[in-house]
Every structure is written in C-alpha cells, then in structure tokens.
C-alpha cells in the first residue's frame, strides 16, 4: 500500500443506500470539502455497485483537486448486517445482498484502508460527533425511512455488540399479534412506523373508501409516494394522512419508551426521511408517548430531538469511523511494541 506521509490528511465518507451512493471528502477537522452522488442500481449486482462506489469517490476527489494519495482512510456505511472481522455484508434485504466482501473488494480497488459498518451505526456516530459535539455520554440514534434502523453511542463510543448487529431497533416486537414484518416476525416496530408501513396503511384505507388528497397528487396507486408528499397532504388538511402519521408516531413513542427503559441514555436523536419531512407532526406525539411509557425516573433530563444533519450524518459519520478505526488500530499496535 503506497504511503506518502503528511500529504495523507483527508478522509472519505461513503453512504451506500438502496437508491443512491453519497460521498463526502473531509479535512482533518472533518469539515466537508465536497460531496458527490450517483445512483446505486443494486439490481445490477454487487460488483457493479462496488464499481459505482469507486467512481463516486474518484469524482469527489477529483472535483477537490485530490487523489487517493491524499487519503488517510475511507469509511463506508452500508445497509444490513456487517461482519465485524471482515467488513463483509452478511445480509442486506435492502440491497438484496448475501455475504458480499465489500470491505476487502474496496480495499483492493482503492489501495487505501477501508472500513465498512452498518449505515445507521455510522449515521449515529456522525450525529454524535458533528451535531452533538461528542458531549453526551450515551445516545440512541433512530432512523425512520423505508425501513427503521438505529445506532448506539455508549460511554462516548459507537457500540456495535458481539456481531456488529446492535441497534436493530426496527425489529423490536411491540405487538406480538401485529402485522407481518419483512423479517418474518409479527408486530415489529418497523411494521408500524416505517414509510413502507405507512404506505400500506394509506393504501388499505383508500381501498376501504377513505378519501385523501394523495390520490389527486399521485394517482390511485401511490407508487411514487415520498415522505414530502405526506407533509403536503397534512398541510392541505388531509385527515387520513394526519391520523396515520400520528399513529406511526405513537408506535415510535412506545418503541422509544422500551429503549429508554432498557438503556436510559440522556439523548435520543431521530433521523431519516420520514422525520425530516414530518418532524412537526410526529415529534410532539413521539415525546408524549415515550414519556408516558418510561419507568419512573427514566425520563428525567432525557431529550428527544430531530437531527438537522440530513444526508451529512452518513458521510461525516463514515469519515469519522475511518479515523477512529485507524487510531484504535494504531493504539493496538503501539501497545504490542
């Protein structure tokens, strides 16, 4: 692996999503110098996706007058379950992947150290370091989008558990007899409060004859429904959408109460497309239900807030992950000497 001393002072953060790949270039203080975006096209297979990641990173570097020679390390946030030892993607429903050697393949291509971690873990780290200035001791990140994921900062460090699968809050069962979830279980938090769950609920209400402005906006099949359409509908006084979103917020509050009872962190940060579009409607309901559901004392001094970082959470978290991983492997090597 080529090394050229002090010129390597930049970090690259990659956020690999089901529809798009985002890349950011960061300086030593994790200021973002530039961003790049390409489509993921997961149906073309993992080799093609890897290729697209490489293209996205190279373009971002080039636009900032940099090459891989200037890069210290690259962090990647990926959907799904990531193997701790190898950075391979064990499984991702979102990408349709099983056992994809993403970290080793990217390391081979870039000839720079690459670190792959679950996307919600990475985004939680980004929010913690950039938005909260690494001040709280413990934080939960919860991301409401197509699916629901989460991440944990405990004792000021990203906590990933035995198999790097900690933070899978979306598959917490909150209603045993509830609707079927994509994971095979029933009544998971994700089966109530993800965009997909909300979409299904609205569709089934339409079939039952309920009226909504969404059909005027998008046609009766709603296939192009996005979180911002839900906000538009609520602004237009759409009662169906309002009640479906409030219900999803109530379920989110129950899930957060469960997590507060278990972890009792001082802060819960919400992110993801649904929260970005619907914070005003959802956050008050979430907070009330979470407060009602926590054990006496557990809510004291606890705050629940919506992240303002949006897409920057993932890319900055990935860059910070790379720097932390390299610092800890350096510390381990020094301890051996």
Tell me: does residue 155 bind a copy of itself (CB under 8 A). yes
Cβ at position 24, least distance to a copy of itself in Å? 28
Report the DSSP pairing between strands 139-144 and 303-306: unpaired
Tell me: does residue 324 bind a copy of itself (CB under 8 A). no
Of 173, 184, 174, 124, which is closest to residue 149 (Cα–Cα)? Answer: 124
Cβ at position 136, least distance to a copy of itself in Å? 9
Q: Which is nearer to a copy of itself, 164 or 201 (CB)?
A: 164
Q: Tell me whether residue 129 is exposed, middle or buried, using C-beta atoms within 10 angstroms of its C-beta: 0 to 12, 13 to 18, 19 or more.
A: buried
Chosen residue from 10, 97, 169, 199 binding a copy of itself by CB under 8 A: 169
How far is residue 279 from each of residues 49, 115, 231, 269, 317, measured CA to CA in Å? 32, 32, 9, 12, 22
CB atoms under 10 Å from CB of 235, counted, come to 12
Tell me: does residue 132 bind a copy of itself (CB under 8 A). no
Tell me: does residue 302 bind a copy of itself (CB under 8 A). yes
Cβ at position 191, least distance to a copy of itself in Å? 12
Cβ at position 222, least distance to a copy of itself in Å? 26
Q: Is 26 helix (H, G, I), strand (E, B) or coil?
A: strand
Tell me: does residue 153 bind a copy of itself (CB under 8 A). no
How many angstroms from the chain centroid is the CA of residue 277?
Answer: 16
CB atoms under 10 Å from CB of 139, counted, come to 24
DSSP state of 283: H
Q: Which is nearer to a copy of itself, 131 or 175 (CB)?
A: 175
Cβ at position 93, least distance to a copy of itself in Å? 9
Tell me: does residue 335 bind a copy of itself (CB under 8 A). no
Cβ at position 269, least distance to a copy of itself in Å? 14
Tell me: does residue 263 bind a copy of itself (CB under 8 A). yes
Chosen residue from 240, 259, 269, 275 binding a copy of itself by CB under 8 A: 259
Tell me the C-alpha distance between 281 and 249, whole Å. 8
Tell me: does residue 167 bind a copy of itself (CB under 8 A). yes
How many angstroms from the chain centroid is the CA of residue 264?
Answer: 21
Q: Which is nearer to a copy of itself, 182 or 215 (CB)?
A: 182
Tell me: does residue 133 bind a copy of itself (CB under 8 A). no
Tell me the C-alpha distance between 189 and 202, whole Å. 17
Tell me: does residue 261 bind a copy of itself (CB under 8 A). yes
CA angle centred on 314, ends 108 and 4, rounded to 5°: 40
Tell me: does residue 99 bind a copy of itself (CB under 8 A). no
Tell me the C-alpha distance between 270 and 143, whole Å. 6
**Chain positions contacting a copy of itself, by CB under 8 A:** 81, 83, 90-91, 137-138, 150, 152, 154-155, 157, 159-169, 171-178, 183, 185, 187, 251, 254, 257-259, 261-266, 292-298, 300-302
């Amino acid at each position: 692996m080529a090394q050229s001393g002090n010129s390597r002072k930049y970090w690259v953060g990659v956020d690999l999503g089901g529809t798009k790949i985002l890349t950011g270039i960061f300086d030593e203080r994790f200021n973002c110098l530039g961003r790049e975006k390409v489509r993921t096209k997961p149906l073309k297979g993992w080799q093609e996706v890897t290729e697209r990641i490489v293209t996205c990173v190279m373009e971002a570097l080039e636009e900032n007058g940099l090459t891989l020679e200037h890069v210290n390390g690259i962090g990647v946030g990926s959907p799904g379950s990531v193997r701790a030892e190898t950075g391979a993607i064990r499984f991702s429903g979102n990408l349709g992947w099983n056992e994809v050697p993403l970290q080793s393949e990217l390391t081979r291509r870039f000839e720079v150290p690459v670190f792959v971690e679950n996307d919600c873990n990475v985004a939680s780290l980004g929010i913690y370091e950039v938005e909260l200035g690494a001040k709280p001791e413990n934080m939960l990140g919860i991301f409401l989008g197509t699916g629901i994921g989460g991440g944990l900062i405990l004792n000021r460090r990203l906590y990933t558990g035995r198999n790097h699968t900690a933070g899978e809050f979306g598959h917490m069962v909150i209603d045993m007899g509830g609707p079927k979830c994509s994971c095979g279980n029933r009544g998971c938090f994700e089966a109530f409060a993800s965009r997909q769950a909300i979409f299904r609920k609205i569709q089934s209400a339409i079939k039952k004859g309920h009226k909504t402005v969404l059909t005027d906006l998008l046609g009766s099949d709603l296939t192009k429904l996005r979180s911002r359409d839900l906000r538009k509908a609520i602004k237009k006084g759409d009662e169906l959408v309002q009640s479906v979103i409030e219900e999803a917020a109530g379920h989110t509050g129950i899930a957060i109460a469960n997590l507060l009872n278990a972890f009792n962190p001082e802060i819960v940060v919400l992110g993801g497309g649904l929260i970005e579009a619907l914070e005003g409607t959802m956050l008050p309901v979430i907070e009330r239900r979470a407060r009602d559901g926590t054990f006496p004392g557990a809510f004291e001094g606890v705050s629940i807030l919506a992240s303002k970082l949006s897409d920057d959470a993932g890319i900055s978290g990935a860059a910070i992950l790379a720097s932390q991983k390299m610092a800890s492997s350096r510390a381990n090597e020094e301890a051996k000497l």
